[in-house]
Protein backbone atom coordinates (compact mmCIF):
# COMPACT_ATOMS: atom_id res chain seq x y z
CA UNK A 1 0.00 0.00 0.00
CA UNK A 2 1.73 3.11 -1.26
CA UNK A 3 1.18 6.07 1.11
CA UNK A 4 1.77 8.49 -1.79
CA UNK A 5 -1.12 6.91 -3.69
CA UNK A 6 -3.41 7.54 -0.72
CA UNK A 7 -2.57 11.22 -0.23
CA UNK A 8 -5.64 13.48 -0.29
CA UNK A 9 -7.88 10.57 -1.26
CA UNK A 10 -11.30 9.94 0.27
CA UNK A 11 -11.17 6.32 1.43
CA UNK A 12 -14.04 4.03 2.43
CA UNK A 13 -13.31 0.71 4.16
CA UNK A 14 -15.93 -2.05 3.96
CA UNK A 15 -15.86 -3.87 7.29
CA UNK A 16 -17.42 -7.30 7.76
CA UNK A 17 -16.47 -7.95 11.37
CA UNK A 18 -13.99 -10.61 10.27
CA UNK A 19 -10.25 -10.61 10.84
CA UNK A 20 -9.27 -9.67 7.25
CA UNK A 21 -11.12 -6.35 7.01
CA UNK A 22 -10.11 -5.51 10.60
CA UNK A 23 -6.44 -5.82 9.66
CA UNK A 24 -7.22 -3.49 6.72
CA UNK A 25 -8.22 -0.78 9.24
CA UNK A 26 -5.01 -1.45 11.21
CA UNK A 27 -2.94 -1.13 8.00
CA UNK A 28 -4.39 2.34 7.39
CA UNK A 29 -4.04 3.36 11.04
CA UNK A 30 -0.33 2.54 11.12
CA UNK A 31 0.09 4.92 8.17
CA UNK A 32 -1.65 7.58 10.27
CA UNK A 33 -4.90 7.34 8.29
CA UNK A 34 -8.40 7.05 9.75
CA UNK A 35 -10.72 6.24 6.85
CA UNK A 36 -14.52 6.12 7.06
CA UNK A 37 -15.68 2.57 7.72
CA UNK A 38 -18.93 0.96 6.62
CA UNK A 39 -20.76 -2.21 7.58
CA UNK A 40 -23.08 -3.33 4.76
CA UNK A 41 -26.31 -5.03 5.80
CA UNK A 42 -27.51 -7.53 3.22
CA UNK A 43 -29.16 -10.23 5.35
CA UNK A 44 -32.75 -11.35 4.84
CA UNK A 45 -35.73 -9.83 6.62
CA UNK A 46 -36.91 -12.99 8.39
CA UNK A 47 -34.32 -12.29 11.04
CA UNK A 48 -35.22 -14.94 13.59
CA UNK A 49 -34.98 -17.75 11.02
CA UNK A 50 -32.19 -16.63 8.75
CA UNK A 51 -30.08 -14.41 10.94
CA UNK A 52 -26.45 -15.33 10.53
CA UNK A 53 -23.87 -13.79 12.80
CA UNK A 54 -24.70 -10.21 11.83
CA UNK A 55 -25.09 -8.87 15.38
CA UNK A 56 -21.74 -10.30 16.37
CA UNK A 57 -20.23 -9.00 13.11
CA UNK A 58 -21.41 -5.49 13.89
CA UNK A 59 -20.08 -5.66 17.45
CA UNK A 60 -16.66 -6.71 16.16
CA UNK A 61 -16.64 -4.00 13.50
CA UNK A 62 -17.62 -1.38 16.10
CA UNK A 63 -14.82 -2.44 18.46
CA UNK A 64 -12.20 -2.27 15.70
CA UNK A 65 -13.25 1.18 14.47
CA UNK A 66 -13.27 2.55 18.03
CA UNK A 67 -9.81 1.20 18.63
CA UNK A 68 -8.40 2.96 15.55
CA UNK A 69 -10.45 6.19 15.83
CA UNK A 70 -12.51 5.68 12.68
CA UNK A 71 -16.17 6.41 12.06
CA UNK A 72 -18.46 3.43 11.44
CA UNK A 73 -21.72 3.69 9.56
CA UNK A 74 -24.20 0.90 8.82
CA UNK A 75 -25.43 0.94 5.21
CA UNK A 76 -28.54 -1.05 4.43
CA UNK A 77 -28.25 -2.73 1.03
CA UNK A 78 -30.78 -5.44 1.86
CA UNK A 79 -33.27 -4.38 -0.81
CA UNK A 80 -30.63 -4.06 -3.53
CA UNK A 81 -29.17 -7.45 -2.59
CA UNK A 82 -32.43 -9.33 -2.73
CA UNK A 83 -33.65 -7.55 -5.85
CA UNK A 84 -30.40 -7.86 -7.80
CA UNK A 85 -28.26 -10.73 -6.54
CA UNK A 86 -31.06 -13.08 -5.43
CA UNK A 87 -32.98 -12.40 -8.63
CA UNK A 88 -29.87 -13.22 -10.70
CA UNK A 89 -29.15 -16.38 -8.67
CA UNK A 90 -32.68 -17.79 -8.80
CA UNK A 91 -33.15 -17.04 -12.51
CA UNK A 92 -29.91 -18.88 -13.30
CA UNK A 93 -30.64 -21.82 -11.00
CA UNK A 94 -34.14 -22.22 -12.44
CA UNK A 95 -32.69 -22.30 -15.97
CA UNK A 96 -30.43 -25.20 -14.93
CA UNK A 97 -27.22 -23.18 -14.54
CA UNK A 98 -24.64 -23.00 -11.74
CA UNK A 99 -24.41 -19.33 -10.74
CA UNK A 100 -22.05 -17.67 -8.27
CA UNK A 101 -23.85 -15.15 -6.01
CA UNK A 102 -20.61 -13.97 -4.33
CA UNK A 103 -19.18 -12.86 -7.68
CA UNK A 104 -22.25 -10.75 -8.37
CA UNK A 105 -22.31 -9.40 -4.81
CA UNK A 106 -18.93 -7.74 -5.41
CA UNK A 107 -20.07 -6.12 -8.65
CA UNK A 108 -23.63 -5.19 -7.66
CA UNK A 109 -23.35 -4.46 -3.94
CA UNK A 110 -19.86 -3.90 -2.48
CA UNK A 111 -18.53 -1.86 -5.39
CA UNK A 112 -21.97 -1.05 -6.82
CA UNK A 113 -24.99 -0.22 -4.63
CA UNK A 114 -22.75 0.94 -1.77
CA UNK A 115 -20.85 3.39 -3.98
CA UNK A 116 -24.12 4.64 -5.43
CA UNK A 117 -25.63 5.22 -1.97
CA UNK A 118 -22.55 7.23 -1.06
CA UNK A 119 -23.06 9.39 -4.14
CA UNK A 120 -19.77 8.04 -5.59
CA UNK A 121 -18.06 10.34 -3.07
CA UNK A 122 -15.10 8.05 -2.30
CA UNK A 123 -11.97 7.86 -4.45
CA UNK A 124 -10.99 4.46 -3.08
CA UNK A 125 -13.00 1.55 -1.66
CA UNK A 126 -10.91 -0.80 0.49
CA UNK A 127 -11.90 -4.38 1.29
CA UNK A 128 -10.25 -7.37 2.97
CA UNK A 129 -10.03 -9.42 -0.23
CA UNK A 130 -6.92 -11.48 -0.94
CA UNK A 131 -6.10 -9.79 -4.24
CA UNK A 132 -3.82 -7.02 -5.46
CA UNK A 133 -3.86 -4.26 -8.02
CA UNK A 134 -0.98 -3.11 -10.17
CA UNK A 135 -0.45 -0.27 -12.60
CA UNK A 136 1.12 -1.71 -15.78
CA UNK A 137 1.78 0.61 -18.74
CA UNK A 138 -0.66 3.20 -17.40
CA UNK A 139 -3.49 0.71 -16.78
CA UNK A 140 -4.77 -0.69 -13.51
CA UNK A 141 -4.85 -4.49 -13.39
CA UNK A 142 -6.27 -6.96 -10.89
CA UNK A 143 -3.39 -9.25 -9.87
CA UNK A 144 -3.24 -12.37 -7.73
CA UNK A 145 -2.41 -12.71 -4.05
CA UNK A 146 0.72 -14.64 -2.96
CA UNK A 147 -1.60 -17.00 -1.03
CA UNK A 148 -2.88 -19.46 -3.69
CA UNK A 149 -5.44 -21.01 -1.34
CA UNK A 150 -6.98 -17.71 -0.21
CA UNK A 151 -6.62 -15.75 -3.47
CA UNK A 152 -10.00 -14.13 -4.27
CA UNK A 153 -9.38 -12.62 -7.70
CA UNK A 154 -11.93 -15.12 -9.08
CA UNK A 155 -14.65 -13.49 -6.93
CA UNK A 156 -13.66 -10.05 -8.24
CA UNK A 157 -13.44 -10.95 -11.93
CA UNK A 158 -16.85 -9.45 -12.82
CA UNK A 159 -16.42 -5.97 -11.32
CA UNK A 160 -16.52 -3.07 -13.79
CA UNK A 161 -13.36 -1.27 -14.92
CA UNK A 162 -14.44 1.93 -13.08
CA UNK A 163 -14.91 -0.15 -9.92
CA UNK A 164 -11.44 -1.66 -10.29
CA UNK A 165 -10.03 1.86 -10.52
CA UNK A 166 -11.50 2.58 -7.06
CA UNK A 167 -10.63 -0.79 -5.51
CA UNK A 168 -7.80 -1.15 -3.01
CA UNK A 169 -6.84 -4.36 -1.19
CA UNK A 170 -4.50 -3.42 1.67
CA UNK A 171 -3.89 -7.01 2.87
CA UNK A 172 -3.67 -8.56 -0.61
CA UNK A 173 0.14 -8.86 -0.45
CA UNK A 174 -0.05 -11.01 2.71
CA UNK A 175 -0.76 -14.70 3.18
CA UNK A 176 -3.61 -15.63 5.51
CA UNK A 177 -1.34 -16.80 8.33
CA UNK A 178 0.47 -13.43 8.25
CA UNK A 179 -2.86 -11.60 8.61
CA UNK A 180 -3.73 -13.79 11.62
CA UNK A 181 -0.29 -13.07 13.12
CA UNK A 182 -0.81 -9.31 12.75
CA UNK A 183 -4.26 -9.57 14.35
CA UNK A 184 -2.88 -11.56 17.30
CA UNK A 185 0.14 -9.31 17.73
CA UNK A 186 -2.11 -6.24 17.76
CA UNK A 187 -4.64 -7.97 20.07
CA UNK A 188 -7.54 -7.41 17.68
CA UNK A 189 -10.83 -8.56 19.16
CA UNK A 190 -11.48 -11.05 16.34
CA UNK A 191 -7.92 -12.37 15.91
CA UNK A 192 -9.03 -15.97 16.51
CA UNK A 193 -12.43 -15.70 14.87
CA UNK A 194 -13.13 -18.38 12.26
CA UNK A 195 -13.42 -17.43 8.60
CA UNK A 196 -16.97 -17.30 7.30
CA UNK A 197 -17.91 -20.19 5.05
CA UNK A 198 -20.32 -20.36 2.13
CA UNK A 199 -22.32 -17.58 0.54
CA UNK A 200 -21.76 -14.21 2.17
CA UNK A 201 -25.32 -13.47 3.28
CA UNK A 202 -26.58 -16.93 4.23
CA UNK A 203 -24.61 -17.38 7.43
CA UNK A 204 -25.63 -20.72 8.89
CA UNK A 205 -28.47 -21.39 6.45
CA UNK A 206 -28.11 -24.30 4.07
CA UNK A 207 -27.96 -23.24 0.40
CA UNK A 208 -30.55 -25.85 -0.61
CA UNK A 209 -32.94 -24.47 2.00
CA UNK A 210 -32.47 -20.99 0.52
CA UNK A 211 -33.24 -22.31 -2.99
CA UNK A 212 -36.24 -24.30 -1.69
CA UNK A 213 -37.63 -21.12 -0.12
CA UNK A 214 -37.70 -19.39 -3.51
CA UNK A 215 -38.26 -22.17 -6.03
CA UNK A 216 -39.95 -24.93 -4.03
CA UNK A 217 -39.64 -28.53 -5.21
CA UNK A 218 -40.27 -30.08 -8.61
CA UNK A 219 -39.95 -33.86 -8.63
CA UNK A 220 -38.47 -35.46 -11.74
CA UNK A 221 -36.65 -38.57 -12.95
CA UNK A 222 -33.01 -39.45 -12.38
CA UNK A 223 -31.79 -41.38 -15.43
CA UNK A 224 -28.54 -43.23 -16.05
CA UNK A 225 -26.94 -41.54 -19.04
CA UNK A 226 -25.43 -44.68 -20.61
CA UNK A 227 -28.49 -46.97 -20.34
CA UNK A 228 -31.46 -44.57 -20.28
CA UNK A 229 -32.70 -46.45 -17.20
CA UNK A 230 -34.64 -44.60 -14.49
CA UNK A 231 -32.81 -45.15 -11.20
CA UNK A 232 -34.58 -42.71 -8.92
CA UNK A 233 -36.21 -39.31 -8.51
CA UNK A 234 -34.93 -35.82 -7.69
CA UNK A 235 -36.78 -33.04 -5.86
CA UNK A 236 -35.74 -30.29 -8.24
CA UNK A 237 -32.92 -29.83 -10.76
CA UNK A 238 -31.88 -26.68 -8.90
CA UNK A 239 -30.64 -28.73 -5.94
CA UNK A 240 -27.95 -30.35 -8.10
CA UNK A 241 -24.82 -29.19 -9.88
CA UNK A 242 -22.87 -30.73 -12.76
CA UNK A 243 -20.09 -32.94 -11.40
CA UNK A 244 -21.83 -33.41 -8.04
CA UNK A 245 -21.18 -36.75 -6.36
CA UNK A 246 -22.47 -36.38 -2.80
CA UNK A 247 -26.03 -36.00 -1.58
CA UNK A 248 -27.78 -37.73 -4.48
CA UNK A 249 -29.36 -40.36 -2.22
CA UNK A 250 -29.03 -43.12 -4.82
CA UNK A 251 -27.98 -46.67 -3.98
CA UNK A 252 -25.12 -48.60 -5.60
CA UNK A 253 -22.98 -45.52 -6.23
CA UNK A 254 -20.90 -43.52 -6.57
CA UNK A 255 -23.00 -41.57 -9.07
CA UNK A 256 -22.03 -38.33 -10.79
CA UNK A 257 -24.38 -35.65 -12.13
CA UNK A 258 -23.55 -35.31 -15.83
CA UNK A 259 -26.25 -33.04 -17.24
CA UNK A 260 -29.72 -31.61 -16.72
CA UNK A 261 -32.61 -31.54 -19.18
CA UNK A 262 -34.59 -28.53 -17.98
CA UNK A 263 -37.51 -28.93 -20.41
CA UNK A 264 -38.09 -32.59 -19.47
CA UNK A 265 -37.03 -32.06 -15.81
CA UNK A 266 -34.57 -34.98 -16.03
CA UNK A 267 -31.31 -35.34 -14.11
CA UNK A 268 -28.75 -37.50 -15.94
CA UNK A 269 -26.17 -39.32 -13.87
CA UNK A 270 -23.32 -41.67 -14.64
CA UNK A 271 -21.95 -44.56 -12.64
CA UNK A 272 -18.38 -45.16 -11.63
CA UNK A 273 -15.77 -43.25 -9.71
CA UNK A 274 -14.78 -40.79 -12.41
CA UNK A 275 -16.79 -41.30 -15.61
CA UNK A 276 -15.22 -39.83 -18.73
CA UNK A 277 -18.45 -37.98 -19.44
CA UNK A 278 -17.85 -35.83 -16.32
CA UNK A 279 -14.79 -34.24 -17.97
CA UNK A 280 -14.38 -31.62 -20.68
CA UNK A 281 -11.39 -30.10 -22.49
CA UNK A 282 -13.10 -27.59 -24.79
CA UNK A 283 -15.94 -25.29 -23.85
CA UNK A 284 -17.35 -21.95 -25.00
CA UNK A 285 -17.77 -18.75 -22.95
CA UNK A 286 -20.14 -15.90 -23.68
CA UNK A 287 -20.22 -12.27 -22.48
CA UNK A 288 -16.51 -12.19 -21.66
CA UNK A 289 -16.04 -9.35 -19.22
CA UNK A 290 -12.68 -7.51 -19.31
CA UNK A 291 -11.60 -5.96 -16.01
CA UNK A 292 -9.01 -3.46 -17.19
CA UNK A 293 -10.10 -0.37 -19.08
CA UNK A 294 -8.93 -0.39 -22.69
CA UNK A 295 -8.07 -4.11 -22.74
CA UNK A 296 -10.25 -6.02 -25.20
CA UNK A 297 -8.04 -8.93 -26.28
CA UNK A 298 -6.96 -12.12 -24.55
CA UNK A 299 -3.51 -13.61 -25.15
CA UNK A 300 -3.55 -16.93 -27.00
CA UNK A 301 -1.96 -18.78 -24.07
CA UNK A 302 -3.74 -18.38 -20.76
CA UNK A 303 -4.44 -20.08 -17.44
CA UNK A 304 -7.95 -20.32 -15.99
CA UNK A 305 -10.14 -21.44 -13.07
CA UNK A 306 -13.78 -22.53 -13.11
CA UNK A 307 -14.14 -22.82 -9.34
CA UNK A 308 -12.51 -21.45 -6.21
CA UNK A 309 -9.46 -23.71 -5.97
CA UNK A 310 -5.70 -23.03 -5.74
CA UNK A 311 -5.08 -24.66 -9.16
CA UNK A 312 -4.80 -22.78 -12.43
CA UNK A 313 -5.29 -24.78 -15.65
CA UNK A 314 -3.21 -24.00 -18.77
CA UNK A 315 -5.14 -23.47 -22.00
CA UNK A 316 -5.24 -21.70 -25.33
CA UNK A 317 -8.11 -19.38 -26.13
CA UNK A 318 -9.86 -18.63 -29.39
CA UNK A 319 -11.50 -15.23 -29.31
CA UNK A 320 -14.66 -15.08 -31.41
CA UNK A 321 -16.96 -12.12 -32.00
CA UNK A 322 -19.44 -10.49 -29.57
CA UNK A 323 -17.64 -11.37 -26.34
CA UNK A 324 -17.64 -15.08 -27.17
CA UNK A 325 -14.56 -17.29 -26.96
CA UNK A 326 -13.53 -20.94 -26.89
CA UNK A 327 -11.33 -22.36 -24.16
CA UNK A 328 -9.10 -25.28 -25.19
CA UNK A 329 -7.77 -26.71 -21.94
CA UNK A 330 -4.49 -28.63 -21.95
CA UNK A 331 -6.05 -31.13 -19.52
CA UNK A 332 -9.52 -32.56 -18.98
CA UNK A 333 -11.51 -30.55 -16.42
CA UNK A 334 -14.05 -32.11 -14.08
CA UNK A 335 -17.54 -30.70 -13.61
CA UNK A 336 -17.63 -27.96 -16.26
CA UNK A 337 -21.14 -26.54 -15.85
CA UNK A 338 -23.12 -23.91 -17.78
CA UNK A 339 -23.55 -20.72 -15.75
CA UNK A 340 -20.22 -21.06 -13.97
CA UNK A 341 -17.72 -18.28 -14.48
CA UNK A 342 -14.45 -19.19 -16.14
CA UNK A 343 -11.84 -16.74 -14.83
CA UNK A 344 -8.95 -16.04 -17.20
CA UNK A 345 -5.37 -15.15 -16.21
CA UNK A 346 -2.09 -14.73 -18.07
CA UNK A 347 0.25 -17.72 -18.44
CA UNK A 348 2.00 -16.92 -15.14
CA UNK A 349 -1.42 -16.60 -13.42
CA UNK A 350 -0.45 -13.14 -12.22
CA UNK A 351 -2.73 -10.77 -14.15
CA UNK A 352 -6.46 -11.43 -14.17
CA UNK A 353 -8.12 -10.49 -17.47
CA UNK A 354 -11.69 -11.04 -16.31
CA UNK A 355 -14.25 -13.80 -16.73
CA UNK A 356 -16.97 -15.16 -18.96
CA UNK A 357 -19.94 -17.44 -18.38
CA UNK A 358 -19.65 -21.03 -19.54
CA UNK A 359 -22.23 -22.09 -22.15
CA UNK A 360 -22.53 -25.68 -23.27
Characterize the bridge pairing of strands 313-319 and 301-305: antiparallel
Residues 24/127, Cβ–Cβ less than 8 Å? yes
Q: Confirm whether 37 is a catalytic residue.
A: no
Helix, strand, or coil (residue 255)? strand
Active site residue 52: no
- For the chain, give percent helix, strand, coil, nearest 5: 30, 30, 45
CA angle, 132 then 137 then 138, to 5°: 80
What is the per-residue DSSP string for 148-193? Answer: TTT--HHHHTTS-HHHHHHEE-TTTTS-HHHHHHHHHHTT-TTTTP
Active-site option among 37, 52, 77, 105: 105
**Of these residues, 52, 70, 77, 200, which one is catalytic?**
200
Distances (CA, A) of 217 to 82, 214, 239: 21, 9, 9
What is the H or E stretch that residue 21 is in? helix 19-29
CA 241 to the chain's CA centroid: 17
Strands laid side by side in the 255-261 sheet: 230-234, 220-224, 266-271, 255-261
Give catalytic residue positions: 105, 200
Amino acid sequence: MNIEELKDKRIAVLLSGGVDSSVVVYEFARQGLHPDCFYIKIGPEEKEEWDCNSEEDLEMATAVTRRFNCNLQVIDCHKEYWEQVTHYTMAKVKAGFTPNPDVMCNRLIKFGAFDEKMGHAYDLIATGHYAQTEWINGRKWLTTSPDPVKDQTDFLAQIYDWQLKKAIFPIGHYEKNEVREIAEREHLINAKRKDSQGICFLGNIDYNEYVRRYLGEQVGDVIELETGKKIGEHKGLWFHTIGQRKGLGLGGGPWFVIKKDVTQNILYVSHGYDPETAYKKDFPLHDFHFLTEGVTDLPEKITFKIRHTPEYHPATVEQLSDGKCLIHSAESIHGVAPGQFCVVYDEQHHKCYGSGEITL
